[in-house]
């Protein structure tokens, strides 16, 4: 047996034990992210911050990479956070999380602070996480001696700077960088990055990777709680409908999240200790109990797809069909079976 | 030597393109008269957020020195005209933290004209707008607020109607003739030219006295100077303990950011029928602004100082006729609905039913492809 105890510098620190909440009525009243943030009406990323802070509880530290959830939550010398929060650079959610975990561990080892489990959560947007910060997140997920969570809030564009294309933007979506024109209608020709599955399959030592959606708040909170309890670095990827960049009436924020899952565009799953489990409606899609809704229902509700022709919608549908019918692991791993 | 400036106050993102069309239209028309000008957005509003009040300006001048002098200001004051493209903004605007509630006519020059798109009467609007302390004029362009989004523009001619009306109330900035030529050149659409002309003929100004209007003193803050700020850009967080509110023992009222209430973002507000409420928690759980206070008897009371009116609570409520979004123009205060209900249940129900008649709710952005074309076709105007 080789020496697997690589963590020779520090004592093992157990995580907090955060049991899942069984249903919305069991969710406690305490808020650690309150009102007075300068987000859009119907901002699902703000909703995710609220859920995450609730799920983590008072002994949590949040590190926020640049993005909406940095700028809007620290407007002019004020904040809605009731737990410590620190800004970090756009691409460095992973490094900030590892550094904070290492720092706390060292302080506790040296007796400079009480030895106790503290949740470390680094939040980043799809630009900060799936594009710029991907390498730092990858590094963080390899350092298995630190307990931390990287929470990626994905609103499918650089929304803070007024909607530029990111690697997570869907095919064909209108954005500042991909405005449809008369000659070329589809300007973003990249397919959305499969970030969570990439990180799960690329970091087999990482004990928990999950996708969530704010339309299912209790499930999202329980994923965060499991990620914080299980130990080691973990990753949760949330799809957050964005009324500004997706261009829809803010009252549909919740409904569009549900539609993303029900059309099969956003699969919900978790990879726990190397075992894949499909969740919620996505599980029922795979088992055949739930028939995927046509993507048209989702696309035509959003101004960012208003230029789509029937042909474009059919193409989009065919890519989603492939994802559930041809992928090696439906909704998760895209290779064809050998 | 003369300079004219126009302020356009609008809802972030929802009316960004509309405001841009207005400011750009003014400058392009003025250029036809040999003037120079610039249209620009206020720096602090960027990045804009859905619904949060924002401003754009158009400044035109016959000489570059005066134009530059205007541009050296953070936001031009003493504007000849303030255009308000959503009448709900007449209650005042709060664009970011520490900003306080700015009266809609604050940056309007004495004797200037406030142009508002509204279906309300001048008398009703004057009562809403804060008292200026100096006389000014109010002109109404009869129209509901025109909302769209970042990508799909609702071209219902609100932009050119306001441009036409502007040349009536402030001919010194630009003449109707130049404006019509600029509109024709810009949009190449005779219908838009006709709309502008029609609005020019229809708009009328009402003089507003120095002491007329809402006498509420809008809340404001003393800004912390650099000597009061802490090292390392530290901002004190919210208290994790809930607020201690009399009569709310056993409930939960979260601490709230005192320097940014954000309610001027709201164009609709939820009214709640506590008699039909099943306490299912969904409005509270799904509110992105954490605006619901939990009451001692387990209800969820939307706090009107924190609610920004997105409408998610109505969308997720599983009960028919429990949460209903109502046009903000129907309300004059931010009082707790749960407290009203507690004092007089029948009276509350009557109040609630009366408020709900202020439907249909306002158009709040994009619903589906083709919707704006349908709405414009349905509009008798």
DSSP per-residue letters across B233-258 = G------SSPP--TT-TTSB-----T
What is the arithmetic mean of pLDDT over A72-79?
89
d(CA B7, CA B89): 13
In total, chain B counts a number of residues equal to: 381
d(CA A93, CA B288): 23
- A185 contacts in chain B (CB < 8 Å): none
pLDDT of A55 reads: 98
Domain range annotation of chain A: 24-325
pLDDT of B89 reads: 97
d(CA A164, CA A182): 20
A28 close contact with B: CB closer than 8 A: no
pLDDT, tens digit, 9 for 90 and up, residues B298-339: 999 999 999 999 999 999 999 999 999 999 989 999 999 999
Q: Model confidence at B1, in pLDDT bands (50, 70, 90)?
A: low
Please report the residues numbered 237 through 276 in chain A whose beta carbons come closer than 8 angstroms to any beta carbon of chain B.
Answer: 243-245, 247-255
Q: Tell me the residue ranges of DSSP E strands in chain B.
A: 3-11, 36-41, 53-61, 79-84, 108-118, 136-142, 205-208, 268-272, 292-294, 300-302, 323-327
Helix, strand, coil percent content, chain A, rounded in steps of 5: 35, 15, 50
Mutation target vs B (from A22, A28, A30, A36; most B CBs, 10 A cutoff): A36
Q: What is the mean pLDDT of chain A?
A: 95
Nearest to B310 among A41, A82, A85 (CB): A41
Nearest to A79 among B52, B96, B237 (CB): B237
B97 close contact with A: CB closer than 8 A: yes
Per-residue buried b or exposed e for B258-294, using 16+ beta carbons within 10 Å of the residue's own CB:
ebbbbbbbbbbbbbbbbeebeebbbbbbbbbbbbbbb
In angstroms, what CA-CA distances link A249 with A215, A301, B187? 16, 9, 27
Residue pair A278/A219 in contact by the 8 Å Cβ criterion: no
pLDDT, tens digit, 9 for 90 and up, residues B114-145: 999 999 999 999 999 999 999 999 999 999 99
Residue pair A253/A44 in contact by the 8 Å Cβ criterion: yes
The DSSP 8-state label assigned to residue A53 in this structure reads H
CATH number of B238-258+268-356: 3.30.70.20
- A79 contacts in chain B (CB < 8 Å): 235, 237-238, 257
In angstroms, what CA-CA distances link A82 with A124, A149, A228? 19, 19, 19
Q: Model confidence at B31, in pLDDT bands (50, 70, 90)?
A: very high
Of A297 and A1, the one with more pLDDT: A297
Please report the residues numbered 199 through 218 in chain B whose beta carbons come closer than 8 angstroms to any beta carbon of chain A.
Answer: none
Nearest to B186 by CA among B208, B159, B206, B210: B159
Task: Compute φ and ψ for A141, nearest 5 degrees.
Answer: -75, -15
d(CA A212, CA A206): 17
Give the minimum alpha-carbon distance from A128 to chain B in angstroms, rounded to a whole number: 17
Residue pair A265/A292 in contact by the 8 Å Cβ criterion: no
| Element containing residue A284 per DSSP (H, E) | helix A280-287
**Crossing angle of helices B190-202/B158-169, nearest 10°?**
40
B58 three-state secondary structure: strand
pLDDT, tens digit, 9 for 90 and up, residues B265-297: 999 999 999 999 999 999 999 999 999 999 999
Dihedral of the CA atoms A2, A3, A5, A10 (nearest 10)?
-170
Contact state of B150 with A162 under an 8 Å Cβ cutoff:
yes
Give the minimum alpha-carbon distance from B299 to chain A in angstroms, rounded to a whole number: 12
Contact state of A249 with B367 under an 8 Å Cβ cutoff:
yes
Dihedral of the CA atoms A4, A129, A283, A204 (nearest 10)?
-20
Assign domain B3-208 to its CATH architecture. Answer: 3-Layer(aba) Sandwich (3.40)
B221 close contact with A: CB closer than 8 A: no
In total, chain A counts a number of residues equal to: 338
d(CA B277, CA B283): 11
Task: Search chain A and give the residue with CA nearest B52.
Answer: A40
Residue pair A236/A152 in contact by the 8 Å Cβ criterion: yes
CATH number of A24-325: 3.40.50.970
pLDDT, tens digit, 9 for 90 and up, residues B96-112: 999 999 999 999 999 99
B359 close contact with A: CB closer than 8 A: no
Task: Search chain B and give the residue with CA nearest A58.
Answer: B240
Domain range annotation of chain B: 3-208, 238-258+268-356
Please report the residues numbered 152 through 181 in chain B whose beta carbons come closer than 8 angstroms to any beta carbon of chain A.
Answer: 152
Task: Search chain B and give the residue with CA nearest A54.
Answer: B285
**Whether pLDDT at A5 is above 50:** yes
Q: CA torsion sign, A211 to A216 to A221 to A223?
A: negative
């Amino acid at each position: 047996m080789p020496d697997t105890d690589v963590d020779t510098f520090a004592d093992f620190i157990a995580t907090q034990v955060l049991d899942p909440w069984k249903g919305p009525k069991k969710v406690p009243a305490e808020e650690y992210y309150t009102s007075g943030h300068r987000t859009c009406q119907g901002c699902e990323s703000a909703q995710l911050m609220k859920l995450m802070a609730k799920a983590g509880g008072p002994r949590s530290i949040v590190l926020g990479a640049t993005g909406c959830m940095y700028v809007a939550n620290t407007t002019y010398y004020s904040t809605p956070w009731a737990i410590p929060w620190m800004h970090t650079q756009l691409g460095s959610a992973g490094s900030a999380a590892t550094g904070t975990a290492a720092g706390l561990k060292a302080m506790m080892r040296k007796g400079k602070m009480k030895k106790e489990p503290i949740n470390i959560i680094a939040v980043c947007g799809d630009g900060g996480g799936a594009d710029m910060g991907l390498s730092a997140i990858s590094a963080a997920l390899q350092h298995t001696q630190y307990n931390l969570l990287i929470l990626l809030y994905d609103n499918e564009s650089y929304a803070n700077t007024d909607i530029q294309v990111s690697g997570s933007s869907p095919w064909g979506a209108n954005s500042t960088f991909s405005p449809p024109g008369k000659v070329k209608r589809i300007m973003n020709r990249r397919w959305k990055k499969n970030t969570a599955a990439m990180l799960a399959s690329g970091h087999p030592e990482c004990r928990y990777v999950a996708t969530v959606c704010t339309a299912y708040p209790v499930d999202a909170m329980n994923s965060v709680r499991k990620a914080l309890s299980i130990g080691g670095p973990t990753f949760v990827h949330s799809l957050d409908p964005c009324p500004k960049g997706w261009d829809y009436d803010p009252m549909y924020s919740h409904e569009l999240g549900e539609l993303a899952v029900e059309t099969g565009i956003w699969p919900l799953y978790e990879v726990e200790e190397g075992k894949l489990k499909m969740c919620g409606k996505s599980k029922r899609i795979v088992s055949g109990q739930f028939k995927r809704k046509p993507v048209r229902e989702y696309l035509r509700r959003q101004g960012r797809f208003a230029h789509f022709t029937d042909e474009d919608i059919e193409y989009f549908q065919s890519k989603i069909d492939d994802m559930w019918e041809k992928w090696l692991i439906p909704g998760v791993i895209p290779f064809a079976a050998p | 030597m003369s300079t004219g400036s126009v302020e356009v106050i609008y809802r972030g993102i929802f009316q960004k393109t509309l405001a841009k069309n207005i400011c750009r239209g003014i400058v392009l028309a003025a250029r036809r008269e040999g003037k120079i000008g610039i249209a620009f957005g206020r720096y602090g509003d960027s990045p804009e957020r859905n619904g949060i009040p924002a401003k754009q300006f158009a400044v035109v001048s016959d000489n570059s020195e005066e134009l530059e002098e205007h541009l050296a200001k953070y936001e031009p004051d003493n504007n000849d005209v303030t255009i308000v493209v959503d009448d709900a903004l007449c209650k005042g605007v709060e664009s970011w933290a520490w900003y306080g509630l700015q009266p809609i006519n604050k940056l309007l020059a004495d004797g200037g004209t406030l142009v508002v798109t509204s279906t309300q009467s001048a008398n009703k609007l004057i009562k809403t707008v804060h008292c200026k302390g100096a006389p000014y004029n109010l002109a109404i362009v009869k129209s509901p607020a025109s909302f769209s989004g970042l990508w799909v523009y609702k071209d219902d001619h609100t932009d050119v109607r306001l441009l036409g009306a502007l040349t009536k109330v402030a001919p010194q900035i630009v003449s109707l003739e130049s404006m019509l030529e600029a509109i024709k050149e810009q949009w190449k659409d005779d219908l838009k030219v006709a709309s502008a002309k029609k609005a020019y003929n229809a708009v009328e100004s009402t003089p507003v006295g120095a002491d007329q209007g809402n006498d509420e003193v809008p809340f404001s803050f003393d800004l912390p100077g650099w000597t009061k700020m802490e090292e390392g850009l530290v901002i004190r967080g919210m208290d994790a303990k809930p607020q201690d509110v009399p009569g709310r023992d056993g409930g939960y009222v979260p601490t709230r950011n005192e320097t940014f209430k954000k309610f001027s973002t709201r164009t609709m507000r939820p009214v709640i029928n506590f008699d039909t409420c099943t306490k299912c928690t969904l409005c509270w759980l799904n509110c992105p602004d954490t605006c619901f206070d939990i009451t001692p008897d387990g209800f969820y009371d939307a706090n009107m100082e924190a609610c920004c009116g997105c409408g998610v609570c109505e969308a997720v409520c599983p009960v028919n006729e429990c949460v209903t979004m109502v046009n903000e123009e129907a309300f004059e205060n931010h009082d707790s609905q749960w407290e009203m209900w507690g004092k007089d249940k029948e009276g509350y129900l009557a109040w609630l039913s009366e408020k709900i008649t202020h439907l249909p709710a306002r158009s709040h952005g994009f619903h589906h492809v083709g919707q704006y074309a349908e709405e414009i076709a349905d509009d008798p105007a």
